[in-house]
Amino acid sequence: MQQLTQSPVDPAFVQNPYPFYDRARQTGDFFWWNDYAMPCAVSHKAVHAVLRDRRMGRECPSELAPAIPDALRPFYEIEAHSMLELEPPRHTRLRALVLRAFTSRTIAALAPQITQLCHDLIDRFPDEPFDLLTAYAQPVPVVTIARLLGVPEDRADDLLRWSNAMVAMYQARRTPEIEAAAIAASTDFSDFMRGYIATRRKTPADDLISTLIAAEEQGEKLTTDELITTCILLLNAGHEATVHTLGNGTKTLLEQNIRGITDACVEEIIRHDPPLHMFTRWVYEDVQIGDQHFKRGDQIACLLGAANRDPAVYPDPARFDPARSGPQNTSFGGGIHFCVGAPLARLELKIALDVLFTRCPDLRLTAAPGYGDTYHFHGLTRLMVAAR
């Protein structure tokens, strides 16, 4: 396995990680990333295999689990009940209960609300240049997931702030200041959800939180702590990635002068410039993948952004092709941890982009977009446009 060095906090890399991925992919299906001290799956074939192999998973082997500092407990106590971080049997139970509430019918029923929300936001677009991220790409997903859960929309700014602070814990550039902000957000978010869940236990409504409270699987229900974590996970994952995908996709469509929004175009947006570039798996038993051997306790990074640009499965992969066909991209993960919110994300993207370019056919960039200085997330810091 070839060793490569690339600082994940190097500004040039963060703005455009794809040349490094191309170089890494030439070394084989896996390479050793010195800066992370970790093997990385870089081809579509290898990433697909690792994500779906049940001999690997998200939960750290018990003998390797690090001690959690007391100061960071509020954050990790929430993580301890996250189905994203758990393996069967707990994961199976949690996911089954969530899917009972998060049905395709529930998602489809949101279409008229999302459409109206998009129109309402566009009605408020100013005549002068403005930031499309704050005016459109952020409120569409955060208001939608708030409505779905039944959380008051007037708390949307708090939800966005808490979410941003918490997910910052996963970026390469993690500082004591980032940790302190994440702990404060975890405490505030948890307290808010605990109070709101208590209210919904007494007075159920037609929302996802009430449905989650009532959901049963073989006589089991979600505990309050599991409910809190699940709601926080759905709120965080339910808008954080979609905001970036909507922003990245709009940028690309404007640069390419593409306006027709088909299902294939939405999939290409998700493939071409995804919001999450790295997702890790722990190895639970000795395993061979391709010509590489891994032992229990190894951790493998799946480079989703690299897999999506693999020329072995996507001809001319750096080119944005709104009519592209091909295998499933890796942006939503895979295996038992495949994103439960994928149908909602696709629906939001299709409606939001379709309404945007129908209402604003002359939308254009007014300044060069720039990506946030974070890895392994990949999203714009602003998207300055003019609609008229």
Q: What is the mean pLDDT of residues 240-266?
A: 94
Residue 249 carries which DSSP code?
H
Please give the residue range of the domain that contains residue 207: 3-386
pLDDT in tens, 309-339: 999 999 999 999 999 988 999 999 999 999 9
**What is the pLDDT, as a whole number, of residue 6?**
97
Collapsing DSSP to helix, strand or coil, 309 comes out as: coil
**What is the pLDDT, as a whole number, of residue 238?**
67
Q: What is the mean pLDDT of residues 348-370?
A: 96
Q: What is the mean pLDDT of residues 21-30?
A: 96
Greatest Cα pair distance in the chain: 61
Per-residue pLDDT for 57 more than 90? Answer: yes
**What is the pLDDT, as a whole number, of residue 5?**
97
Per-residue pLDDT for 173 more than 80? Answer: no
pLDDT in tens, 182-214: 999 999 999 999 998 999 999 999 888 998 888
Q: With beta carbons less than 8 A apart as the criterion, state whether 251 and 369 touch.
A: yes
More confident residue, 23 or 234: 23
Q: With beta carbons less than 8 A apart as the criterion, state whether 302 and 244 touch.
A: no
Residue 58 carries which DSSP code?
S
In degrees, to the nearest 5, what angle opens at C-alpha 343 toward C-alphas 142 and 347? 65
Q: With beta carbons less than 8 A apart as the criterion, state whether 385 and 366 touch.
A: yes
Per-residue pLDDT for 17 more than 90? Answer: yes
Residues 292-330 as b or e (16 or more Cβ within 10 Å = b): eebeeebbbbbbbbbbbbbeebbeebeebbbebeeeebb
Per-residue pLDDT for 104 more than 90? Answer: no
State the CATH number of the domain containing residue 138: 1.10.630.10
**What is the pLDDT, as a whole number, of residue 231?**
87
**What is the pLDDT, as a whole number, of residue 217?**
62
Q: What is the mean pLDDT of residues 122-130?
A: 97
- Quote the mean pLDDT of the chain: 93
Reading the block at residue 221, the tokens are 């229900």
Q: Which residues contact 177 (CB under 8 A, 6 or more apart)?
A: none
- How many distinct structural domains can be found in the chain? 1
Does this model's pTM top 0.85? My answer is yes
Q: How confident is the model at residue 343 (pLDDT cuts 50, 70, 90)?
A: very high
